[in-house]
Structure 1
Amino acid sequence: MWVEDTEELDELTVVARAQDGDLQAFDWLITAYQGGIFRLCLRMLNNRQDAEDIVQETFISAWRSLPNLTVPQAFVPWLYRTATNKCLDDLRRRQRRPVEPAEDLGADTARESPRHPQGRTTIGAGPSVDPAQDYENQEQMRALAELLQRLPPGPRACWLLREVHEFSYGEIAAIVQVPESTVRGRIARAKRLLAEGMAPWR
């Protein structure tokens, strides 16, 4: 039975209970991680409806496959791998679609740690008292969002997992299932392209 306060339970205990079929434990995991998974999918797909669909598919797949997870400590990277793979599959299916305008992510500029899913820290300085500076910051974030959509899916995923979701290179390698050296190369490429694109804002 789910008798303890879930805030006092460690995540491994919650994962183990979910693996045993405890729906309340799995609901706790959904609440903890659906926000981060959604933001990853939105930045990957640039479409809110598609992102919401992938989030739903990710947790349905996770519930079905969770009993087969042999290392409960790897739950978070495993969950992000499921979501990332679904995003990449979706992007492959719609390669021939016209490029959509970038979603306005100006208000969603937080860096989040997968180890602390509900604690988020803002990238850069806090709110400015200067409206002109606030406007410029928002325009910079819109420009960054547009540049992200121009990155190839592989480098985009690796950059997001590293710079926004704060996974280690080794964890990213496990998530996208390529060697760590490839991950480092993709992130370096993404950083170079983004730096070139953001040069006018310097």
Structure 2
Amino acid sequence: MGDTGGALDELDDGLLVARAAEGDEDAFAILVHRHGGPLLALAYHMLGNLPDAEEAVQDALISAWRRLPEFRGDATFSTWTYRIVTNRCLNVLRGHAPPVSLNAVPEPTAHGPEGEPARAAESEAATQALAQALGNLPSAQRACWILRELHGMSYAEIAQVVGESEPTVRGRLFRARRTLMKEMASWR
């Protein structure tokens, strides 16, 4: 990143966005480095496989770079890029049925003695069932659930990301949770 890389690392996102909007590629690279991991995790949770997730994030970041001069700062850079990635993933999901990947769902932590094969098998089966249930949710509900439960976003943040009102987000989360509870009832 040259001599300015260290100095740029110290800047907050707002200043980096302003510099990147003026064409500073180093500033944008730092933003990508700061936010790329969570964006990839979001895409992976939504799409269920790494190649599609990487492509969605790459497309979203290219779009963000091109649209930076239009960025008004109404939301944080993070929220803005989450929205771009979420929309890209929703477009991918509308194009084909989402693959179900066991890796897209976080592995529950095992309790008890190490090496319990029965417990490990049950945990794996529950993870697979949750991945299947998530894959069956409508994409808008899945996006809200993933943003809330896996990324810890508030209702207001989710509303900004998905471009809907908070009551709409709450409704989608309610329906997603209800569906998941029904589909996972045998695992309680």
Using the size of structure 1 for normalisation, the TM-score is 0.79
The more displaced of 77-86 and 35-44 is: 35-44
Please point out which of 122, 126, 130 is paired with 1:144: 130
Deviation at 1:90, TM superposition (A): 1.8
Distance in 1 (CA, whole Å) between partners of 2:168 and 2:74 is 26
Deviation at 1:46, TM superposition (A): 2.5
Deviation at 1:26, TM superposition (A): 1.2
CA gap of 1:172–1:109, structure 2 versus 1, over 3 A, is same
Whose radius of gyration is greater, 1 or 2? 2
Gaps of at least 5 residues in structure 1 are 111-122
Q: Which protein is richer in helix relative to its size?
A: 2
Contact 1:16 1:72 in 2 (8 A): no
Contact 2:43 2:56 in 1 (8 A): yes
Distance in 1 (CA, whole Å) between partners of 2:45 and 2:90 is 12
Q: Partner letter of residue 177 of structure 1?
A: G
Indicate yes or no: 2:107 matched with 1:105: no
CA gap of 1:15–1:137, structure 2 versus 1, over 3 A, is farther
Gaps of at least 5 residues in structure 2 are none
- Number of the residue aligned with 1:114: none
Distance in 2 (CA, whole Å) between partners of 1:50 and 1:102 is 12
Q: Partner letter of residue 41 of structure 1?
A: A
Q: Partner letter of residue 157 of structure 2?
A: E
Q: How does 1:17-166 map to 2 (within 5 A)?
A: 17-71=19-73, 74-94=76-96, 99=97, 101-105=99-103, 109=106, 129-132=114-117, 133-166=119-152
Q: Partner letter of residue 169 of structure 1?
A: Y
- Number of the residue aligned with 1:201: 187
Contact 1:154 1:186 in 2 (8 A): yes
Deviation at 1:179, TM superposition (A): 1.4
Distance in 2 (CA, whole Å) between partners of 1:89 and 1:51 is 12
- Number of the residue aligned with 2:14: 12
Deviation at 1:5, TM superposition (A): 4.8
Contact 2:48 2:101 in 1 (8 A): yes
Q: Which protein is richer in strand relative to its size?
A: 1
- Number of the residue aligned with 1:192: 178
Q: Partner letter of residue 163 of structure 2?
A: Q
Counterpart secondary structure, 1:4: helix
Q: CA RMSD in A?
A: 2.5
Deviation at 1:157, TM superposition (A): 0.5
Distance in 2 (CA, whole Å) between partners of 1:80 and 1:145 is 22
Deviation at 1:176, TM superposition (A): 1.1
CA gap of 1:58–1:7, structure 2 versus 1, over 3 A, is same
Distance in 2 (CA, whole Å) between partners of 1:174 and 1:100 is 24
Distance in 2 (CA, whole Å) between partners of 1:39 and 1:71 is 24
Q: Partner letter of residue 10 of structure 1?
A: D
Please point out which of 153, 157, 161 is paired with 1:167: 153
Contact 1:144 1:198 in 2 (8 A): yes
Deviation at 1:72, TM superposition (A): 7.1
